[in-house]
């Protein structure tokens, strides 16, 4: 800027120059500001123009308090550009986080589903092994099938009642099957109780 802006501002204060004329005289300054905003702060043209106009009208609104227009206008433009840039950086950071969450959420759901399917397949494999190793009769097979169909919260008494058996018979048959469980082959039995 040069001193002609301060002289023009003084004319504006003395009411010898209209606001429109003063704004027109600031046209070279507006181009400099817009280029700086677009190139340095990655703002679009509309945001840059908005900052320029807001700063202009704020200073014209308090023109009695402003003694050096050049300095005040430069400082105000600089502060508004910084504030807008910080706001945009925060917004972009939040958008990135939101994008990451939306990309990860379906993947996490897929992983959870595949883990559950794997655990269910492992359960079936252990049950098949136990049934083949124990060579069970029809009652034991019915008890195992009832356990597989029943909800996880079902107790031995409820399963026994649904099959028309005494609960001690169900208990003994399950203990008989448990003797054939091989921890070396299938791991700890606690792993199967989680699902």
Find, among 120, 142, 141, 122, the residue nearest to 131 by Cα.
141
What is the pLDDT of the chain when averaged over all its residues? 78
Which pLDDT value is given to residue 1? 45
Which pLDDT value is given to residue 115? 59
Which pLDDT value is given to residue 12? 79
**Domain ranges (residues) in the chain:** 3-92, 106-193
Which pLDDT value is given to residue 104? 56
In DSSP notation, 131-154 reads HHHH---HHHHHHHHHHHHS-TT-
Summarised one tens digit per residue, pLDDT across range 33-62 is 888 888 877 788 888 888 899 999 988 888
Q: How far apart are CA 191 and CA 107, in angstroms?
A: 24
Which pLDDT value is given to residue 195? 45
Which class for 169: exposed (0-12), middle (13-18), buried (19 or more C-beta within 10 A)? Answer: middle
Which pLDDT value is given to residue 67? 83
Has domain 106-193 been given CATH number 1.10.1760? Answer: no
Which pLDDT value is given to residue 132? 72
Summarised one tens digit per residue, pLDDT across range 125-181 is 777 777 777 777 888 888 888 877 888 778 888 888 988 989 898 888 888 877 777
Q: What is the DSSP letter of 17?
A: S
Which pLDDT value is given to residue 88? 81
With bands split at pLDDT 50, 70 and 90, how would you rate the model's confidence at 9? confident
Is the entire prediction scored with pTM above 0.75? no
Sequence length of the chain is 195
Summarised one tens digit per residue, pLDDT across range 80-126 is 988 888 888 888 777 766 655 566 555 556 566 665 566 666 667 77
Which pLDDT value is given to residue 36? 86
Residue whose entry in the numeric block shows the structure tokens 């091989």: 182
């Amino acid at each position: 800027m040069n001193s002609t802006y301060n002289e023009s501002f003084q004319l504006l204060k003395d009411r010898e120059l209209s606001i429109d004329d003063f704004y027109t005289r600031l046209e070279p300054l507006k181009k400099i500001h817009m280029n700086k905003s677009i190139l340095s702060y990655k703002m679009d043209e509309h945001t840059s123009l908005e900052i320029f106009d807001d700063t202009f009208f704020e200073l014209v609104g308090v023109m009695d308090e402003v003694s050096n227009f050049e300095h005040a206008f430069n400082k105000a433009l600089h502060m508004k550009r910084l504030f807008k840039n910080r706001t945009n950086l925060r917004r972009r950071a939040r958008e990135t986080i939101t994008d990451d969450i939306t990309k990860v959420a379906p993947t996490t759901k897929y992983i959870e589903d595949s883990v559950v399917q794997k655990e269910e397949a492992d359960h079936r494999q252990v049950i098949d092994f136990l049934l083949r190793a124990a060579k069970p009769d029809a009652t034991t097979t019915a008890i195992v099938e009832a356990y597989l169909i029943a909800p996880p919260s079902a107790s031995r008494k409820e399963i026994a009642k649904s099959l028309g058996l005494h609960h001690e018979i169900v208990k003994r048959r399950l203990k008989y099957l448990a003797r054939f469980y091989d921890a070396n082959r299938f791991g700890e039995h606690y792993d199967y109780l989680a699902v």
